[in-house]
Copies of this chain bind each other. A is one copy, B any other.
Amino acid sequence: MTTAARAVPSRLLSQRDLDFLLYEWLDVLQLTRLPRYLDHSRETFDAAMQTCQRIATEHFYPINKLLDQEEPRFVDGQVITPAPLKQSLRVFCEAGLMAAGQDFERGGMQLPYTLEKACFAWFNAGSVAAAAYPMLTQGNANLLLAHGSPHQISTWVEPQLEGRFFGTMCLSEPQAGSSLSDIRTRAEAQADGTYRLFGNKMWISGGEQDLSDNIVHLVLAKIPGPDGRLTPGVKGISLFIVPKVMVDAQGRLGERNDVVLAGLNHKMGFRGTTNCLLNFGEGRFRPASTGALLDQPPGPAMAGAVGYLVGEAGKGLACMFHMMNEARIGVGLGATTVGYTAYLHALEYARSRPQGRPPKGKDPSAPQVAIIEHADVRRMLLAQKAYVEGALALNLYCALLVDQAAGDPQDAVREQAHLLLELLTPIAKSWPSQWCQEANSLAIQVHGGYGYTRDYNVEQYYRDQRLNPIHEGTHGIQGLDLLGRKVVMGGGAALQAFAGRVRATMAAASGEGPEWAAQAAALGHLLTRTLATVTRLHAAGDPDVTLANASVFLEAFGHLTLAWIWLDQALAAARALPKASAQEADFYRGKLQANRYFQQWELPKVAAMLDLLDQLDQTTLAMQDAWF
C-alpha cells in the first residue's frame, strides 16, 4: 500500500486488506503467468486499484447520501435521477472501467476477474446504489459475449462496454416472483426472425433511467406453441434482447421500442438504483423497424416490443444463469462492501468518541476514555471485522475460482474450480447478505443514538443492506439451491472438492502449534459432521423433509466455509508475522485475532444447527396454517 493511503485511511475499504488477500493469501500474481495476463503485473494491478479507489472516493462516496435523499422521480413517463449520478457514472465509464475485464481488442484492460472484482469493490463501498448500474451492465455484456451472436455482440455489447448503453436483467413478474416457471411474458415469432414481446416485468433494477443513451433488457419470455399456449414450467423459457430504443444497422438510435415504465418501486434503501415495473408490448409505441439484426427496410407499425432471441429457443434459463451467477457473486460483494465501509465508519467513531471509563477505572474525575477502550465496543468491532473481512475473502476466493475455471491451462484445475464455484455461489451471495447486515447493525450500535440518525452514514448502510438477502434469489432460494442441487451434483463431487480444500488447510494449520491444531480439529470435526448431515438429509426419502430446513443448512454450511476461510487467512498472516515491521505486525495480529474470534465465537454455532438438521426436524413442516 502507498504511504499516502496509510496516512489517511480510507473509510470505504482497506487497501492493505485487499493487498493481503490478493497477493499474500490468494497469490493472484500466479494469473500473470497465463498467456491472457502476460502484460499484467503487480504494478498494473495496483495502478488499477488505485484509480478505482480514487474515483470511488472522489465521485461515488460523496453522492451516496444524496442518492438516498433524492430518490429517482417518475415524471411524464420519464425517470429523473440526480444530476451528480450521471456525472459520476460518466467518470467511471470514461476511465474505461466498464470494460475492465474485457479483451484489449475490445478496448478493455483484460484484467483477471479477481482484480476486476477487487477494483469494483471500491465502487460498491462508495455507493452501492450507483454501482448497481455498471454491475448489471457488465453482467449483461458478459452473458451476451458468452451466448450472443457476433451481430448481437457488436450491436449491444460494444456500446455497453463503452458505457453508452446500460443493461438489465428481466426475470420476475408480478404474479410469479421467484417462481420463474410461472412467467407469462409471451414472445411471438415474426416472419423475419425477430419476436414481439407482451408482458410485465417486476423488480427491474435500472429498468428505466436517464443515465445512458439506451437500455439493453435481457428478458425471459415464452414462445407460444402452435396452439397459442405457453409451455408450463421452466422448459418453455427463452431469452431475448429487448432494447429500449431501436438501433439500426449502423448502430444509430431510432424509434422507441414498446418497453414502458409502469411504475417505480419506492424502497427502504438502495434508493439511487431505480427499481421498475416494466410493460412490454402494451401498445404505447408501435415500432416499425425490427432493427439492425436483419438490416431490412422498416415494415408496418406493429404491436409488441421487438425482441431478438439469444441462443436457442427453450434454453433461456440456462443462458440467464450466466448473468444470475455473476449477479449473485456481485450482490455478495455489494453486501460485503456495505458492511465493510460501515465497519470502518464505526471504527473511526469508536476511536474518536470519549465516553465512560472501564470497569477497573472507577475514578469519576478521571477523563473519559475513547469508547474503543470498552470491551463490549471492542467485541462489536471485532465481530464486524471478522464478518466483513471474512466476506471479502470469500468473495475474492470465488472470483479467483471464476478465473481458474475460465482460464487455467489444466483441465483438472478448471473442473475443480468450476465445481467449487457452483457450490460456493449460494454462500457467496447469502453469507455476506446475512452477516454483513449484522455488521451494519453493530456499526449502528457502536455509534449509540448517533448511529440511528441520518446525520451519520451507518443508518443508510443498514437500510441499503436489507435488500441483499432478497434480490437475486432470496435466502430461501439459495438454501434450496445449495441443499437441493449443489451438494448432490455429480454424486457430491463439489462437496468432496470443498472437503479437500478444507482438509488441506487443516493439515497446514495442524503443524503450527497447539492453538492451531485445536482450531483445525474443531473445524475438521464439524466438516465431517456436515458431510454426514448431507447424507442423512438426502436419505430422508421425502423431499419436503429434506428441504424443510434448507435455510438452516445454508447458514451452517456458510459458517463452516467462513471458519475455513478465516483459518486459511490466519495461516498466511502467521507466516508473514515474523518478518513484519511493527506496523505490519499489527495488521497481521489483527487477522490472527479476528480468526480467533471466528473460531471461538462463531464456529460453535454450526454444531447447534447440525444437531437440529440431524434430527430431520419437522417442527416447521408440521406447523399448520390454522395454528398461526
Contacts and interface: CB of A to CB of B under 8 A. Distances in A.
Given A203-B449, A233-B364, A590-B628, A462 B376 contact: no
A25 interface: no
The copy count of this chain in the complex is 2
Interface stretch (A96-104, A261-269, A298-306): A261-269
Nearest to A447: B470
Contacts of A547: 359, 375
B445 A475 contact: yes
Interface in A347-381: 347, 351, 354-360, 363-365, 368, 372-379, 381
A452 interface: yes
A544 B600 contact: no
A581 interface: no
Contacts of A268: 452-454, 459, 462-463
A617 B600 contact: yes
A168 to B, nearest CB: 15
A227 interface: no
A177 interface: yes
A451 interface: yes
B604 A232 contact: no
Interface string A536-579: 00000011101111110000000000000000000000000000
Nearest to A441: B466
Contacts of A626: 586
A474 B451 CA distance: 12
A96 B548 CA distance: 50
A469 interface: yes
Listed residue (A172, A176, A364, A620) with the most chain B CB atoms within 10 angstroms of its CB: A620
A192 to B, nearest CB: 31
B375 A620 contact: yes
Given A454-B266, A628-B385, A375 B449 contact: no
Nearest to A611: B604
Contact of A179 (B356, B444, B463, B627): B356
Interface string A434-478: 000100010011001101111100010011001101110011100
A586 B624 contact: yes
Contact of A266 (B374, B453, B617): B453
B463 A379 contact: no
A281 interface: no
Nearest to A588: B627
A496 interface: no
Interface string A333-345: 0000000000000
A93 interface: no
A382 B605 contact: no
A181 interface: yes
A615 B599 CA distance: 14
A619 interface: yes
A411 B234 CA distance: 71
A625 B351 contact: yes
A46 interface: no
Interface string A216-259: 00000000000000001110000000000000000000000000
Interface string A265-284: 11111000000000000000
A621 interface: yes
A628 to B, nearest CB: 5
Given A544-B359, A590-B627, A471 B445 contact: no
A544 B355 CA distance: 17
A4 interface: no
A327 to B, nearest CB: 15
A351 B172 CA distance: 20
A187 to B, nearest CB: 18
Given A364-B232, A381-B628, A589-B627, A474 B453 contact: no
A619 B604 contact: no
Q: Which 8 A-B pairs have the closest CB atoms?
A: A233-B364, A590-B627, A232-B364, A179-B356, A379-B620, A359-B543, A232-B365, A375-B548
8 contacts: A202-B449, A378-B620, A381-B628, A382-B619, A382-B620, A444-B466, A452-B470, A596-B619
Given A179-B355, A376-B551, A586-B624, 15 more contacts: A179-B356, A232-B364, A233-B365, A266-B453, A267-B454, A269-B452, A351-B625, A360-B542, A375-B544, A379-B548, A379-B620, A444-B466, A449-B470, A590-B623, A596-B619
